Amino acid sequence: MTTFVDRVELHVAAGNGGHGCASVHREKFKPLGGPDGGNGGRGGDVILTVEQSVTTLLDYHHSPHRKATNGKPGEGGNRSGKDGQDLVLPVPDGTVVLDKAGNVLADLVGQGTSYVAAQGGRGGLGNAALASARRKAPGFALLGVPGDLQDIVLELKTVADVALVGYPSAGKSSLISVLSAAKPKIADYPFTTLVPNLGVVTAGSTVYTIADVPGLIPGASQGKGLGLEFLRHVERCSVLVHVLDTATLESERDPVSDLDVIEEELKQYGGLDRRPRIVVLNKIDVPDGKDLAEMVRPDLEARGYRVFEVSAVAHLGLKELSFALADLVAKARAARPAEEATRIVIRPKAVDDAGFTVTREEAEGEPLFRVRGEKPERWVRQTDFNNDEAVGYLADRLNRLGVEEELMKAGARSGDGVAIGPEDNAVVFDWEPTVMAGAEMLGRRGEDHRFEAPRPAAQRRRDREAERDESSREFDGFEPF
Ligand SMILES: Nc1nc2c(ncn2[C@@H]2O[C@H](COP(=O)(O)OP(=O)(O)OP(=O)(O)O)[C@@H](O)[C@H]2O)c(=O)[nH]1
Ligand SMILES: [Mg+2]
């Protein structure tokens, strides 16, 4: 028998963005060509997609590390690097994606439903894209951003309308085999069924699916037998069916106490209280079974259950059962809000684009100002710290976003430590403000105002505005904000 895997831990890595290229156009007799370094390509995403033909998570159990390809670096001659390829991982219908703490990230139901598990890093801009009126030939390019790394857990929950629960050998698999075309393994020893079986039933105009769960025994909630692990498969079902054995040879068992035991285990598992239930008394082809069924029926009905007497082997009472189930399923479907559209793509929550925070901390008695925010942290990752011009460009970007202003408001002074990023992965530097209180720009790095003719205030403002426009334009095409 093939191993069935319904829970795996998966480590996914999106592709890194390719680095931008810093290059200057060269041609014979034309020594002063412009910058022509192309942009790096985007790293590929890792995407989980529901594929009906896939029924287990076995593949991921065998190889739990998956990586999308990196974007290629940009090249001279304005050649952009190729984007990395997305890695599409097919998963079964009903796969739930969780983080390591157990929070549900996505619930994938319906052919084609997708979830972006790790996002590829952006490619870095080449120096051609970084050129502007005032920075005509940048001698640097932006680095590609590393792709997301995520550790996720995939859990498979069978998507069936009806779930059969009961003791081992009660006849759950036998019932599926006679109600549907499914051919599960059936045998007279306990725990024949090790993984849920799924069948499709047609009753009148209603088509529904029916699944069994490996047999439950007292103490299943403490891990006895196969445990309750498989109950996650019935969590989505609209109807629960208790399959009770009327012909068991075990002296201490009878249908009513069996029901109590299973109910207790379901309670321990939790979350199934409000699911409608019916009771099936199976094996009434056995004479003693029929007598016992008739004996316990009033007791069960008094508890509010609808009771069906059937025989999976002798095909008794099946039609009635099948139509009653169809009825309950149809009612549950009608009560449910309109089916969620399938083929949706779920992306991780949008990152908080514009925002950033500045907080004051103490580090070894010295003040340390921590900057957190999607943009500043990404910009730091894009910066080649061996290149002064690139570092200057970073300072400009931070300044334009208002980081310097906020630092100043938070009380930072020249020489104080500033950390950009989380505690375990921050870039720390000594702050040298490039602005003065009142946000008047003193000068940008790499530029020296002594070489410029003095400009009247109005002219300076116009220049500054022009530059701001330019800088927002310069990102638009490549980095959707
Ligand atoms: N006489 C009689 N035997 C039945 C009936 N239904 C099932 N059986 C027998 O009971 C035994 C167990 O049946 P299964 O369908 O494998 O039971 P199960 O509930 O799926 O058991 P597990 O998978 O072990 O939990 C088999 O030998 C079946 O032939 C029935 O209606 N009448
Ligand atoms: Mg079975």
pLDDT (tens digit per residue) in 180-225:
888 888 988 888 888 788 888 999 888 898 988 888 888 888 878 7
Domain boundary among the residues 126, 156, 186 is at 156
* Domain contains 310: yes
Nearest CA to ligand 1 atom 11: 188
Residue 297 sits in a domain of what CATH number? Answer: 3.40.50.300
User: Do 242 and 127 fall within a single domain?
Assistant: no
Pocket lining: 315 vs ligand 1, CB cutoff 6 Å: no
Is residue 312 assigned to a domain? yes
- Could you tell me if residue 463 is inside a domain? no
170 located within any domain: yes
Strand order through the sheet with 87-91: 87-91, 46-50, 114-118, 345-346
Give the pLDDT confidence score for residue 45 in this predicted structure. Answer: 96
Residue 169 domain flag = yes
User: Minimum-distance ligand to the CA of 167?
Assistant: 1
How many other C-beta atoms are found inside a 10 Å radius of the C-beta of residue 476? 9
- Domain end position, chosen among 105, 123, 156: 156
Whether 305 and 228 share a structural domain: yes
Question: 96, 147 in Cβ contact below 8 A?
Answer: no
Same domain, 51 and 171: no
User: Domain check: are 200 and 92 in the same one?
Assistant: no
Q: Which of 172, 174, 191, 261 to mutate to test the pocket of ligand 1 (most atoms within 8 A of CB)?
A: 174
Verify whether ligand 1 is closer than 6 Å to residue 313 (CB atom). Answer: yes
Q: How far is CA 325 from CA 233, 241, 435, 481, in A?
A: 18, 9, 73, 52
Alpha helices in 102-181 (DSSP H): 127-130, 172-179
**Predicted pLDDT at 220:** 84
Based on the domain organization, do 17 and 105 belong to the same domain?
yes
Quick one: which of 367, 373, 469 has its CA closest to 421? 373
- Examine the domain organization and report whether 105 and 197 are in the same domain: no
- Can you read off the two tokens belonging to residue 107? 């619930």
Does residue 170 share a domain with residue 147?
no
Token duo for residue 141? 């390019």
pLDDT tier at 104, thresholds 50, 70, 90: confident
149-156 and 95-99 beta bridge pairing? antiparallel
Question: Do 167 and 137 sit in the same domain of this protein?
Answer: no
Question: pLDDT digit string (tens) for 39-64?
Answer: 999 999 999 999 878 877 888 988 99
Distance from residue 309's CA to the centre of ligand 2 (Å): 19
Q: Is the CB of 311 under 6 A from ligand 1?
A: yes
Compute the distance from residue 173 Cα to the ligand 2 centre, in Å.
4
Number of domains in the chain: 3
The answer to whether 271 and 235 have CB atoms below 8 angstroms apart is yes
Pocket test for ligand 1, best of 1, 165, 169, 176 (most atoms within 8 A of CB): 169
Q: Is the CB of 169 under 6 A from ligand 1?
A: yes
Q: Are residues 173 and 25 in the same domain?
A: no
**Same domain? 276 vs 259:** yes
280/418 same-domain check: no
Q: Positive or negative, the Cα torsion across 451, 456, 462, 468?
A: positive
Q: Are residues 206 and 327 in the same domain?
A: yes
Query: DSSP of 341-363, one letter per residue?
Result: -SS-EE-PPPP--S--EEEEEEE
Ligand 1 in contact with 135 (CB < 6 A)?
no
CATH number at residue 385: 3.30.300.350
Q: Does residue 311 lie within any of the structural domains?
A: yes
3-class secondary structure, 118: strand
Question: Among candidates 106, 207, 101, which has minimal Cα distance to 160?
Answer: 207
Kindly state the greatest CA–CA separation across the chain: 110
**Quick check: is 462 in a domain?**
no
The DSSP bridge pattern shows strands 7-13 and 65-67 to be parallel
In a domain, residue 45? The reply is yes
Task: Let me know: does 185 contact 173? Beta carbons within 8 Å.
Answer: yes
* Mean pLDDT (whole number) for 359-375: 88
Domain containing residue 271:
162-335
Last residue of a domain, one of 156, 177, 195: 156
pLDDT digits (tens, 9 = 90+) for 62-102: 899 999 999 999 999 999 999 999 999 999 888 999 998 88
Per mean pLDDT, which range of 77-91, 111-125, 361-375, 454-468 is the poorest? Answer: 454-468
Q: Which atom of ligand 1 lies at the shortest distance from residue 214's CA?
A: 25
